[in-house]
Amino acid sequence: MTEQTPILIQQFQLKDLDQVIEINRECLPENYPERFFRTIYSELPSAFIVAKIGEQVIGYTMARVETGLSHYSIFHRGKKGHTVSIAVKPEYRRKGIAKMLLKRSIEAMVEHGVNELFLEVRVSNDAAVNLYKNFGYEILKEIRNYYRDYESAYLMAKKVPKDKLI
Ligand X SMILES: CC(C)(COP(=O)(O)OP(=O)(O)OC[C@H]1O[C@@H](n2cnc3c(N)ncnc32)[C@H](O)[C@@H]1OP(=O)(O)O)[C@@H](O)C(=O)NCCC(=O)NCCS
* Binding stretches for ligand X (CB under 6 A): 27-28, 86-88, 93-99, 121, 125-128, 130-131, 134
Find the shortest distance in angstroms from Cβ 37 to ligand X: 15
Nearer to ligand X, 77 or 126 (CB): 126
Find the shortest distance in angstroms from Cβ 61 to ligand X: 8
Q: How far, rounded to the nearest angstrom, does the alpha carbon of residue 121 sit from its chain's CA centroid?
A: 10
Nearer to ligand X, 63 or 110 (CB): 63
Strands 77-88 and 116-122: parallel
* Rounded CA separation 20/12 (Å): 9
Find the shortest distance in angstroms from Cβ 8 to ligand X: 15
The answer to whether 98 and 139 have CB atoms below 8 angstroms apart is no
Q: Cβ contacts of residue 136 below 8 Å, gap of 6+?
A: 158
Nearer to ligand X, 88 or 109 (CB): 88
Find the shortest distance in angstroms from Cβ 75 to ligand X: 29
* Rounded CA separation 41/84 (Å): 11
State the CB neighbour count (10 A cutoff) for residue 65. 16
Nearer to ligand X, 63 or 165 (CB): 63
